[in-house]
A and B are shown apart, each in its own frame.
Chain A
Amino acid sequence: MRIKVGIKSLEEAGYFLRNGADEVYFGLKMVPSHNASFADEEQIVPVIRLARRLRKKSLLALNEIYQPEKYPFILDHARRMTDQGLDGIIVCDPALLEYFKAKRFSTYFVSSVVSACFNSQAMEFYRELGVRRVTLHNQVMPSEAKKMMKAASGMETAIFVPSVFRMENIVPFCFFMYPDSQGMYGMCHHACTLKYKCGRRDFAQPSANLYEQAHFLYDFHKLGVDWLKVPRQLNTPKLVAEFTITKFLNGLLEKGLDRDTFAVALAELIERVDMNKYGKSFDLKPFPKG
């Protein structure tokens, strides 16, 4: 599988593209998609050029539902970046895709995980709007993805690294948000990770089973999923750690490690690394020195 990483600086782009990433994606703060974004277009252009120089790819994230008055600005932004050599755009909003079509703007469109594509007919819905790669939700299981990919053949697919980045709730149907963040819908409040009481008993939302997720990752690789996605975050040391783990796990899969050994290796690695020591993904932390 090829690896794509969400970035927010030229430094990150350089690091990941030179260390095994095949694609980077990013957004602009003025066009809400994620807080880990670039401040202006001038900072993005060198990233696009760097990716081209290294014969790798760059994608622009426009994966929110935007207010209609923002459409002309978004279209101009997308056109300017594409003119600079951008390879594609990540989207989720059917209305925006139709607007692009009406304005005769076309590029390589990738549907975001926020598109909630859980079946082949949803993939076909987006294909008819010009989408050529679908990001599978991490709550789609491999046996289901196999049928989806067969029924909607010809589309590229991407998955998140399940054991590293777990979404307990299904976006876009999770409404626990901060009201004051820059995204249109705010930043996730992570209510899925809170400790609750149900009567006198403790309650927590069930989360991913590491061994199960390891088997899923193994199966997705066998299925021929094209891309492994490491999502954007403000916490750069944690992003680097997630990328390093992803690259290592992908290497094991590419070498043909058997299923059970891979599952044990993944579970032991994740437990040993203890991602919690890096802090929250939405804590802004700079690029690690050295």
Chain B
Amino acid sequence: MEKALILSPSLRAKYGAAALKKYDTVCLGDEFCIHKQPSFADLAAVKKLTGKTPVLVSTLLTEPALERWAALLAECAKKEPGAEIVVNDLGLLHFINKKYRGRFRVTLGRLMTYFFDRKKMLAPGSEAGLGLEGERPETWESGIDVTPVDYLKGFLKRYAVGRVETDNEHLLRKYADNTDVKISFHYPLSLMALTRFCPFKGGLTLDCKAPCGERLLKLSSRHLDYPLYSKGNAYFVKNKLVKHPRVDRAVFTPSVNSPGFKMAINEGSIRG
């Protein structure tokens, strides 16, 4: 199985060639934050270190972020045709299909696969017998198989999608059992929520130098009988790599435990 690493552009200087070459593939960008999207300079720098063109990773894109992606794709179409793009936004998918169909390898990211099939997490206090971290996280998830398989197959064909990504075993099986696309599995963090109200900035921001880095905050609440993790502007539970014959890429998200986090203060918040 191919080993891949998610690398935030802001951290590319931290990783030397030796560290990156431990992985078969570098996935450059961020699935959850518009402020950590790749530029062509980032791509060139990583390629210089590894000798390989990195996979470019996008998130849900605001209009200015989409404009930056349009500029990146224009440059890549000339200098890096055939590059793999992980698309996590319907608009970016629509744009690539209209303007660059066949010129890039398109992968549906985990936001897109969740867009069609949203996992339902069982709530604390329910009868599901919720497990603690690492015990039976799969018991938290149910009822995910929703968008018709025929529609998904047509959608993958229409947008020339060659690979899908997920962090969820139910979704993995849906695509494995019903399609012939390649499948990537993300670990050790499974998405619970995405926001632009970033804890590292105290709220919404148009400009950010990514002070979050790779910090992972472990959160506990008396209302939840499992730990929640905050990384950047998204929230996660832990998951484990699922080995399945159809999963040919394991995508690892690196993180650094950060116990001493002090929240940024949002002075105007109603809740304080």
Contacts and interface: CB of A to CB of B under 8 A. Distances in A.
Interface of A: 65-68, 93-95, 98, 115-125, 139-141, 143-145, 147-148, 151, 166, 168-170, 172-180, 184-186, 189, 191-199, 201-212, 267, 270-271
Nearest to B201: A206
Pairs A-B, 6 closest by C-beta atoms: A121-B91, A209-B268, A122-B91, A68-B148, A147-B63, A95-B151
B120 interface: yes
5 contacts: A68-B148, A119-B62, A143-B64, A143-B206, A206-B199
A205 B259 contact: no
A212 B261 contact: no
Given A66-B146, A205-B197, A148 B63 contact: yes
B156 to A, nearest CB: 13
B64 A193 contact: no
Contacts of A208: 197, 203, 268-270
Given A206-B199, A210-B269, A175 B121 contact: yes
Nearest to B261: A198
Contact of A141 (B66, B89, B94, B204): B204
A172 B268 contact: no
A118 B261 contact: no
A207 B271 contact: yes
Contacts of A270: 270
A203 B261 contact: yes
B195 A168 contact: yes
Contacts, number: 219
B118 A125 contact: no
B114 A172 contact: yes
Given A68-B151, A173-B193, 19 more contacts: A65-B116, A65-B118, A116-B115, A117-B91, A118-B62, A139-B195, A172-B115, A173-B115, A173-B194, A175-B118, A175-B121, A186-B123, A192-B195, A194-B223, A201-B261, A206-B197, A206-B203, A206-B263, A207-B203
B193 A209 contact: no
Interface residues of B, number: 72
B148 to A, nearest CB: 4
Given A119-B89, A193-B271, A197-B221, A169 B194 contact: yes
Contacts of B195: 139, 168-170, 192, 205
Given A173-B111, A175-B193, A144 B63 contact: yes
Nearest to B269: A207
Contact of B219 (A116, A125, A184, A197): A197
B257 to A, nearest CB: 10
B114 A173 contact: yes
A203 B142 contact: no
B224 interface: yes
B116 to A, nearest CB: 7
A199 B260 contact: yes
A180 B126 contact: yes
B268 to A, nearest CB: 3
